[in-house]
Every structure is written in structure tokens, then in C-alpha cells.
Amino acid sequence: MREITIPISDDVIRELKVGDPVALNGVMITGRDAVHKWMIETFIKKTRAPQGDDLAVYEALKPVLAGGVIYHCGPVVSGLETKEYKFVAAGPTTSIREEPYQADVMKHFNVKGVIGKGGMGPKTLKGCQETPGVYFHAIGGAATFIAQSVTRVLGVHKLDFGVPEAIWVIEVKDLPVVVTMDSHGQSLHQVIEEQSGKVLQDLLTK
């Protein structure tokens, strides 16, 4: 298993291939539907004007996301009343919901890695080639195990989105993932889908 420290350089990204197991170390953020929609509308397509703390959050996120990682995760967090936050569960969310947004977010913020489950589509795969970046597949159904890799919660933005949808800034140590979409246009998810389709077609025609 290759240990990689965030921020991640272009050279390291280009060395990664589908199937590579990786242990991630460093600071990343969580972000799901509300976060991606907010990023696109407010700062990329600019279809809505910044409101409230939007600009302050944007400025805080830029250095974290440059060479950084977004984790599609809706965590269970303790310590909400005391603000002594701790991740209790941190399993990956199904990533395909972010397909309309992900490539644009990667390009705008220079994001090098996206973590989730289930893979993503052709737009994100193209984004991985252009940015460059990779998609890391995390283990579904292992939320409490993955939470053990979260050593510290450094802060939270947009808590008004709700705990699962907020932007949590976390420090991780040896978070286990596998590269399933790389910067060379390869996607294990696409391969498996094609192979499964052939098997299904064979079964239906027998």
C-alpha cells in the first residue's frame, strides 16, 4: 500500500494507476450534494451572488483544496453542543450524484483526489485527465472503521447545511482507499459495468 501525503503533486497523481491501494495522510474536506451545488452556483458558474459567510468560506477552502482531496461523506459527529467534534462514523457516500459538478470543481480548485463509493461517470473521468486527478474508492459499510483514520476535526463550514452536508475539515492518518479512476483515462467502474453487461446479455439470450 502506497502512503500519500496531502497536498498531492501532479507527478504523484500521474504515477497512480487503477487498482493501486493507497493510505492517505493529511488534511481534507468532506463535501456532498449541497456543497458541490453551492460551489458551482456561487463561485464557478456564478448563478447566485455570494451571501453571508460565502466569501470567507471560499477563501478558507482554496488553500485546503489546492492539491487537496474532497471526501463524499456524510459523517456522524459527536460533540456538536460543546464543539469538541469527533467523527463517530465516516463512510463514503455514493459519488455519482456529484457527476454534474465534480470535474468543474476539480478544475476550479485544483482538487487532486475525490473519495467516495460506486465510481463516477465520463465527465469526471475526463476531469481526472485534465486537472489531473484521481478517484479513490473507499470501503462501503465500514463507516466506524474509516472514522478511526480521522485523527482530528480541524473545523466546520456551512453547518447550516446540516451535519451530513456541511464542510468538515479533517486530518486523517492512513485512510485506506483504492484508485479506481486514474489520470490516464482508465476506470475500473466502466470496465466492470461493461463486463457485467455482457454477462447479463449472455444470460438473457440463453
The verdict on whether 72 is a catalytic residue reads no
Instruction: Exactly one of 36, 72, 137, 189 is catalytic; name it.
Output: 36
Q: Name every residue whose Cβ is closer than 8 Å to that of residue 205 and which is 6 or more positions away in sequence.
A: none
Alpha helices in 31-121 (DSSP H): 33-39, 54-65, 102-109
Distance in angstroms (rounded) separating the CA atoms of residues 43 and 45: 6
C-alpha grid cell, residue 188: 475500473
Distance in angstroms (rounded) separating the CA atoms of residues 186 and 203: 27
Q: Which residues are catalytic?
A: 36
